[in-house]
Chains A and B, each alone.
Chain A
Amino acid sequence: MSDQSMHTNPENPETAATPATDDVQERIAALEKEAAEYKDAALRATADYRNLKRRYDTERVELISRASAAVLLKLLPVVDDHARAMESVTPAVAESMWYGGFKLIPQKLQQLLESEGVTVIESLGKPFDPNQHEAIAYEPCAADQDGLVVAELQKGYMLRDKVLRPAIVKVGQATK
């Protein structure tokens, strides 16, 4: 190291360059932080997208079956009304040709439902099960019918393995 040296001392390069280097380092740090944040956000967004797509694909299949379930559910009150009509047929009407044709209609509807995977929930005499039955009232009964379905006010239906509409029932309550 010579006192007559006219240019920057090469052994201590930092001395002269310090202020600028600090700025640059700061800037780099800030940029790195920002880049890390963006990267993280991008990765999250991609992950979210992938997860959503996966869920969408499974949901789509479900949605299609759910959509048909909605229509089938709407058909059930019509089935109920047909059943009510059939129940109140008088012997005179039952003999008529007209009735012979008419009763084919609810049968046809029944077939349609079955082909879609709709089955009736057999509830009478079974133990009350809130998964399949909706209780509307108690009915006094003998001891051996306690907790069993003693009356069915509206038929219940399954769509494949899910309950489409619960049966509306009266549950027996043994009189003590």
Chain B
Amino acid sequence: MGKVIGIDLGTTNSVVAIMEGGEPTIIPNAEGQRLTPSVVAFSKSGERLVGQVAKRQAVVNPEQTVFSAKRFMGRKLTDKTVQRDKALVPYHLAEASNGDVTVTLNGRDYAIPELSAMVLQKLKADAEAYLGEPVTQAVITVPAYFNDAQRQATKDAGRIAGLDVLRIINEPTASALAYGIGQHHHNQTIVVYDMGGGTFDVSILELNDTMYEVRSTNGDTHLGGDDFDDRIVQHLLKEFLAETGIDLSSDRTALQRLREAAEKAKQELSTILKTEINLPFISADATGPRHLATELTRAKLEALTADLIERSLNPVRQALIDAGIRAASIQAVVLVGGQTRMPAIQDAVQGFFGREPHRGINPDEVVAIGAAIQAGVLAGDVSDVLLLDVTPLTLGIETAGGVMTPLIPRNTTVPTLKSQVFSTAKDNQDAVEVHVLQGERAEARNNKSLGTFVLDEIPPAPRGKPQVEVTFDIDADGIINVSARDKDTNRAVHITLTAGSGLSQSEIERLVGEASQFADEDRRKREVLALQNQVDSLMYNAQRALNNDASLAAERRADAEARIAEAQAALDRWDVEAVRNAIADLTMVVHDLQNKYRTASESSVTTQIPVVDDVEVPATEATTPKRMSLRDLLKRSRE
């Protein structure tokens, strides 16, 4: 079976998605957009246009541009809703011999499925171009209130487009699937609150084992994001009129700019509390050019649209009544549609049900994602073998200075394997201790210790020379195998650990939260720690030079010692600036001492003092071979 795509065939916009590597992905269209307008048109020259390009010429080709065809899908011309919506569309509706709605375009009558098929054809072609392989099967979503004729018509549209429609699923069901509702609890009552650009739909679903049953649906076919934009435009027009006496509502260009600015402001106010609307040279009068510059706050927006939000709750109440369920009995609430990004709507929904709604998935794409998940199941993709876990917290080891050096970042998919080469911190260090840690903090002691082991019998060598390869190997069950291998001798030791033992989801979240709380402090510490190697080397070299030079003048010695002490103090204080200064100071001290030293004697000790320039300056933590700390226990037994 080839790839099966999931399609959200919307009234205004359509979205396509597919499962890849076990995860749903939105497929962008040929223009690079994730949403494709559900519009088809025949240009004056008879050319067929689909999507954004069809939308652009709608105004000058109204009778041959079909939008919102979904409103007529599977219906008869004599249907009440058709008669009502007919008045709102500029294209000509006619009747087929069986009474179905048709649209007269380019001289002939097109059935609605034929027109939707044109949109589906474009989606299919764009998906094939993106995936690089043919696509012949799909899952398509429909509103929960679609009857049999409407569902069949949608299937026909798929067939005409060259797609084998494996299943038609309900839009609210698809969004529940996208959020994984029903994966862990098998009996749930769910509400889906779907407010897009032009329509509002609410559905009450009941999940029994693996079947989603629609208990009731309701909505408002003319309530959506566009109405919210409108309120802002009206507000701006009123303000401008009051300020300047100019009525912009008859100025098409100005209106266009106002509408764009209103939509942009509305979107921005979902994340910030106030925004500027800045439209210079919006108009002109006897005194000269006039400008619109004003501020819009979230509070003002909420005041302007409060009645719209309240209005949306009426269909919700009615749907609950129809389903015979109380708001308190609802176990999950899902938000769908771009307009639900508005905090006031989220608050209203949460207040109504007393429960936090599911969000986090792009509300414009969530239905397509659910369709893709269903498509994946039907394609045989989503099986146990491919369900993978992730490590909840970062894993790493302790390195010189009490640092936590991460090897496997949190949320890495397992199974996985990662190796990194480390080295010794002191000359002739003959063993390294691998202390395995789990957590997000910068210092080893602030993280959880999972276990410790020692790799010994490292041949004598200057510090930084031995190559100890530490490997973390996590299997699909989360068992961690940590090994340390001396690349020269091939001697290796390893340990098997179970991570996350006893760490619940809330504990994990707490630890991650703590890490972000201390993020600034930890970052400062990391900066100091990044310089630590360099400072350590310099202090070591300086001290060494002092020790080897008996003839140094007393005050130069005192000066050098003072700088070494200052460097240590700066480290202890975690003072990045002071540490940088100390590095500069000590570099000079060491150069002075070494120059003096070299001219004074030729001894074999030269090889034992690494020249400052050889010390690697860490660009990032990852590029420096880290040194391991030598614990007291080893000191005692070895020296």
Contact = CB atoms under 8 A, between A and B. Distances in A.
B386 A153 contact: no
A88 B288 contact: yes
A88 B59 contact: no
Contacts, number: 67
Given A55-B130, A66-B32, A81-B281, 6 more contacts: A49-B21, A135-B57, A135-B60, A137-B60, A154-B253, A166-B56
A118 interface: no
Interface of A: 37-38, 41, 45, 48-49, 51-52, 55, 62, 66, 81, 84-85, 87-88, 90, 128, 130-131, 133-138, 147, 153-154, 166, 168, 171, 173
B292 to A, nearest CB: 12
A88 B385 CA distance: 68
Contact of A48 (B21, B256, B289): B21
Most buried by B among A37, A38, A88: A88
B60 A128 contact: yes
Interface of B: 20-21, 32, 43-44, 49, 53-54, 56-61, 130, 132, 252-253, 256, 280-281, 284, 288-289, 383, 385-386
A84 B256 CA distance: 15
Given A38-B385, A135-B57, A135-B59, A52 B20 contact: yes
A21 to B, nearest CB: 30
B197 to A, nearest CB: 18
Nearest to B44: A147
A125 to B, nearest CB: 16
25 contacts: A45-B21, A48-B21, A49-B21, A55-B130, A81-B280, A84-B289, A85-B289, A88-B281, A88-B289, A128-B57, A130-B43, A130-B49, A130-B54, A133-B56, A134-B57, A135-B61, A136-B59, A136-B256, A137-B60, A137-B252, A138-B59, A138-B60, A153-B252, A154-B253, A168-B256
B386 A45 contact: yes
Given A41-B385, A130-B54, A171-B60, A88 B43 contact: no
Q: Which of A84, A87, A173 has the most CB of B within 10 A?
A: A84
A153 B59 CA distance: 15
A134 B56 CA distance: 5
Contact of B59 (A55, A85, A137, A154): A137
B280 to A, nearest CB: 5
B132 A55 contact: yes
A62 B59 CA distance: 32
Contacts of A135: 56-61
Nearest to A134: B56
Given A130-B43, A136-B59, A85 B53 contact: no
Contacts of A134: 56-57
Nearest to B21: A48
A45 B415 CA distance: 13
Contacts of B132: 51, 55
B39 to A, nearest CB: 11
B106 to A, nearest CB: 16
A48 B288 contact: no
Contacts of A173: 60
A101 B569 CA distance: 55
A128 B56 CA distance: 10
A130 B253 contact: no
Contact of B280 (A62, A84, A154, A168): A84
B44 A85 contact: no
A117 to B, nearest CB: 16
A31 to B, nearest CB: 15
A130 B450 CA distance: 63
Contacts of A168: 256
